[in-house]
Amino acid sequence: MKTYQLTVLSGDGIGPEVVDVALDVLNIVSEQANIKFNVTEKLIGGCAFEKVGHPLPQDTLDACLKSDAVLLGAVGAPKWDGLPHELKPEQALLGLRKALGLFSNLRPAKVYNALVNASSLKPSIVGGSDVMVVRELTGGIYFSKPRGMDELKGWNTLAYGKEEVDRIARVAFELAQKRKGQLTSVHKANVLESSQFWRDCVNALQPEYPDVSLSEMYVDNAAMQLVRDPKQFDVIVTQNLFGDILSDIAAMITGSLGMLPSASMGTKYAMYEPVHGSAPEIAGTNQANPIATIESIAMMLEYTFNKPECARKINHAVEQVLKDGYRTKDIADENSTMVSTSEMRNHIIEKLN
C-alpha cells in the first residue's frame, strides 16, 4: 500500500466543516484504490492568529514543506479586518504560495447539466461550459517591487520575467493538450509593456505544442466573452491580477462559488482548496456546500498523485447526486431536495460505495 503525507489546514469559518467532509470522501476512495494518507492538521489564518499570534505559524509551514500535498479550507472573517496588514489571515495564503513556490493556479469552471438553471445566465449560454483558467500566482502586481503608499499616493509595480511567463505558459499548453487543444492567452498588450512581453513569450512557445491552437484576447474583451459565450473557451492563461478577476467571473457561470475547486501548483509542491471564502455567517450551521472541497480532493488525486480514475469516480458521484436532485442551500431551487452539509456527504459516499 502506497502511503502519502497530507497536511490539512482547515482554517476559519466553514473551512473545518467542508474539509472534514472532503476527508471522509478521501478515506473511502483511497481505501478502494489501496493507497493511504497520513494526515497532519495545522493552524492557518485567523484561528492561528488567535492561538499563536500569527496567521502562518512556522510549524504550519514546516509541515507543508514535508508533505506530498496540502489541503486548505478557508481563511478570514470580518472580525480580523482591523489587524495590521502583515497579520491579516489572507496574508497567510500569499506567504504559503510564495514559500511553496506555487506559481500556477488552476481554476476549473464546469457547468453540470443538473445545475444549468442555477446560473444567472441563460441555460442556452452556459450549458456545456467547461473552462479552465490558469492564473500565474506568485508574480505580477501582487508581488513586484517597488510598492507602497503615503499621504498623497499609493503605487504598485507590474513586472514579469521570461522564466515566470514561460513556466506558467507551459502548464497551460500541457493542460490544453489533455483537454480540447485550445489555449487563449489573455493580456492587455495594447497599453501595457508587461503584457506585450507576456504575449511575445507565450507566442514563442507555441511551436513546441503544434497540437494546441493558440489565440489571444485583451482582458476586457475576455471578461465580456466569458459572460457572452463561455463555451468558446477551453484553457485560459493569464497573469496574476487578470486571473484573479477572470476566474471569479468564470466561477459565477456555474451558479455558485460553492461548486468550484482549485489547485495551486509549483515544481515540487501543490495545494488544493475550494474557491469560496470562509462564510462566517453560516459557520457551524451545517449549511455549507462541501462539493468544491470534495472536487479539490479529486484534483489532488489526479494532478499530484496521478490517480485520474479516483478523480473521475468522485466527479461521477457528485454528478449523480446532483442529478438525483439533492442540493445544499446555496444551489437549491423549488424543484430540488435541500440537504445539509453532512447529508450531502452521505449521499456522495453512498454513490462511491
Instruction: Catalytic residue, from 218, 248, 329, 351: name it.
Output: 248
Instruction: Catalytic residue, from 112, 142, 303, 326: name it.
Output: 142
Instruction: Catalytic residue, from 42, 88, 110, 188: name it.
Output: 188
CA pair distance 314, 301, nearest whole angstrom: 10
Residue 70 near residue 7, CB atoms below 8 Å? yes
DSSP string, 110-162: E--GGGTTTSSS-HHHHTT-EEEEEEE-SSGGGT-SS-EE-SS-EE------H
CA distances from 55 to 45, 71, 319 (A): 4, 16, 36
In sequence order, the 6+-apart residues with CB closer than 8 A to the CB of 311 are: 298, 299, 301, 302
Hey, how many other C-beta atoms are within 10 angstroms of the C-beta on 298? 26
Q: Is 324 a catalytic residue?
A: no
Instruction: Catalytic residue, from 220, 229, 323, 333: name it.
Output: 220
Q: Is 229 a catalytic residue?
A: no
Residue 277 near residue 248, CB atoms below 8 Å? no
CA distances from 127 to 248, 253, 256, 325 (A): 18, 9, 15, 17
Q: Is 188 a catalytic residue?
A: yes
In sequence order, the 6+-apart residues with CB closer than 8 A to the CB of 278 are: 11, 12, 13, 14, 15, 45, 73, 74, 75, 76, 77
Instruction: Catalytic residue, from 244, 307, 313, 330: name it.
Output: 244
Q: Is 244 a catalytic residue?
A: yes
Nearest partner of 290 among 301, 300, 279, judged by Cα: 279
Q: Is 66 a catalytic residue?
A: no
CA distances from 131 to 60, 70, 110, 159 (A): 33, 24, 6, 27
For the record, the C-alpha cell of 96 comes out as 504559503
User: Which residue has cell 497530507?
Assistant: 6
Give catalytic residue positions: 142, 188, 220, 244, 248
